[in-house]
């Protein structure tokens, strides 16, 4: 029996509702280019700040990690009252020797009320963007207001994103870059030389890059308890943006620096496991970033104070990115609609799809 017009329109409406927007790598790049990288970073930082300010509305837990020889495979879930989001991400430092990315990921948003997935997106490039934006959001309340010079230790996949985020969101105008791999440094300089508007300096050593810098970002990849920054390198008033230490057994900062500084984290239970503070006693005091952004706890407390953002990445940051991507993709009609889940006329008849 043919459907009546009203029934037909209802069926079409329901079918469209259950379609999932898919953003692949090219679609994400298209979206960022249409918005403009600087504008995108500003909107992303606003989304992250807004979500951190409503921190207590989210369900939170440390990420689920499967540690395997040579790497880690993780799921990062969170939810508020209307949306659930998760990201799958790996970390395999030796992938660069296989001509593979060290970090690869994808993410999803779904309706809490129905469980319907509304967005499936690449999150490898997106994670680099959100990590840099979160670093800059933290630095806005932790670095000295007149900070203009940043040292970046590690010229890997995250480095250019960090440079651009700090330029756009803090007004940093000079970047000193150091990496033990000269080709990585060359890649960084080639990517940013002509278009960034930044003064770029290739340093000869970590200490050369760090000397006199207002902000120091550590973003190395090796899964080791390394000491990239040692106490004698640290000057009064520095802000340290620790990005590379993000799993058990992987650190970059000498523990004495942690003991002498104010340390700010994203989600303390997760950072105790994965961050730089895995090196110090479990009762060592830290401050969660959301408290500073909400104004209930001070950020930088003096011109001479050394501050550290012990960043390991947290699911709410991915949620903010996915939420922004969904809004922008729908507005600009970027990506494609896919049948990710079946939509039978009779929800009890799933067998028809394999009959």
Which tens digit of pLDDT belongs to each residue from 274-323? 999 999 988 899 999 999 999 999 999 999 999 999 999 999 999 999 99
CATH code of 53's domain: 3.30.1780.10
Residue among 263, 259, 312, 287 at smallest CA distance from 72: 312
Regarding whether 334 and 266 lie in a shared domain, the answer is no
Regarding whether 160 and 94 lie in a shared domain, the answer is no
**76 lies in some domain:** yes
Q: Determine which of 229-238, 254-263, 274-283 has the lowest per-residue pLDDT on average.
A: 274-283
Regarding whether 303 and 159 lie in a shared domain, the answer is yes
CB atoms within 10 A of CB 149: 16
Distance CA 300, CA 297 (A): 10
Regarding whether 238 and 179 lie in a shared domain, the answer is yes
- Provide the pLDDT for residue 5: 55
Q: Where are the alpha helices (DSSP H) in 121-202?
A: 124-142, 159-170, 182-192
Which residues have a Cβ under 8 Å from the Cβ of 38 and sit 6 or more positions away?
A: 164, 168
- Provide the pLDDT for residue 341: 92
Is 250 strand, coil or helix?
Answer: strand
Regarding whether 162 and 76 lie in a shared domain, the answer is no
- Provide the pLDDT for residue 38: 97
DSSP designation for 218: E
pLDDT one-digit tens code per residue, 174-183? 999 999 999 9
Regarding whether 120 and 149 lie in a shared domain, the answer is no
- Provide the pLDDT for residue 77: 97
**210 lies in some domain:** yes
Distance CA 322, CA 333 (A): 15
**264 lies in some domain:** yes
For residues 261-286, average pLDDT: 94
How confident is residue 225, by pLDDT bands cut at 50, 70 and 90?
confident
C-alpha radius of gyration, the chain, whole number: 22
Catalytic residue among 51, 179, 246, 310: 246
pLDDT one-digit tens code per residue, 21-77? 999 999 999 999 999 999 999 999 999 999 999 999 999 999 999 989 988 999 999
Range of the domain at 24: 17-125+316-347
Q: Is 51 a catalytic residue?
A: no
Q: Determine which of 12-26, 90-104, 321-335, 339-353 has the lowest per-residue pLDDT on average.
A: 12-26
Regarding whether 331 and 257 lie in a shared domain, the answer is no
Regarding whether 322 and 308 lie in a shared domain, the answer is no
Q: How many domains does one find in the chain? A: 2
How many CA atoms within 13 Å lie on the side-chain side of 20? 21
Regarding whether 320 and 211 lie in a shared domain, the answer is no
CATH code of 266's domain: 3.40.50.720
Regarding whether 157 and 73 lie in a shared domain, the answer is no
Regarding whether 206 and 335 lie in a shared domain, the answer is no
- Provide the pLDDT for residue 42: 98
Average pLDDT of the chain is 93
Percent with pLDDT over 70 in the chain: 95
Regarding whether 107 and 214 lie in a shared domain, the answer is no
């Amino acid at each position: 029996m043919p459907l009546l017009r009203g029934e037909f329109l209802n069926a079409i409406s329901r079918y469209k509702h259950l379609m999932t927007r898919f953003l692949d790598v090219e679609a994400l790049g298209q979206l960022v280019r249409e918005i403009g990288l600087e504008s995108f970073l500003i909107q992303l930082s606003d989304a992250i700040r807004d979500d951190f300010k409503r921190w207590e509305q989210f369900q939170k837990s440390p990420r689920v990690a499967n540690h395997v020889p040579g790497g880690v495979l993780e799921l990062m879930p969170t939810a508020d009252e209307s949306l659930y989001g998760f990201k799958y991400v790996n970390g395999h430092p030796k992938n660069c020797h296989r001509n593979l990315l060290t970090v690869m990921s994808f993410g999803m948003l779904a309706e809490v009320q129905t469980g319907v997935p509304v967005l499936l997106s690449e999150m490898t490039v997106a994670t680099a963007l959100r990590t840099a934006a979160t670093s800059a959001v933290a630095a806005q309340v932790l670095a000295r207001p007149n900070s203009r010079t940043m040292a970046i230790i590690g010229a890997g996949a995250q480095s250019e994103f960090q440079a651009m985020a700090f330029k756009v969101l803090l007004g940093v105008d000079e970047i000193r870059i150091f990496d033990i791999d000269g080709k990585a440094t060359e890649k960084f300089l080639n990517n940013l030389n002509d278009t960034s508007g930044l003064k770029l300096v290739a340093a000869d050593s970590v200490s050369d890059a760090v000397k006199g810098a207002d902000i120091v970002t550590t973003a190395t990849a090796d899964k080791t308890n390394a000491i990239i920054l040692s106490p004698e390198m640290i000057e009064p008033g520095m802000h340290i943006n620790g990005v590379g230490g993000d799993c058990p057994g992987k650190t970059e900062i000498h523990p004495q620096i942690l003991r002498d500084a104010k340390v700010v984290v994203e989600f303390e239970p997760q950072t105790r496991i994965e961050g730089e503070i895995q090196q110090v006693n479990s009762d060592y005091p830290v401050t969660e970033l959301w408290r500073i952004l909400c104004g209930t706890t001070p950020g930088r407390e003096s011109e001479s104070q050394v501050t550290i953002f012990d960043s390991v990445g947290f699911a709410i940051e991915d949620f903010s990115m996915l939420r922004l991507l969904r809004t922008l993709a729908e507005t600009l009609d970027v990506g494609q609609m896919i049948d990710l889940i079946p939509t039978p006329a009779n929800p009890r008849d799933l067998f028809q799809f394999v009959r």
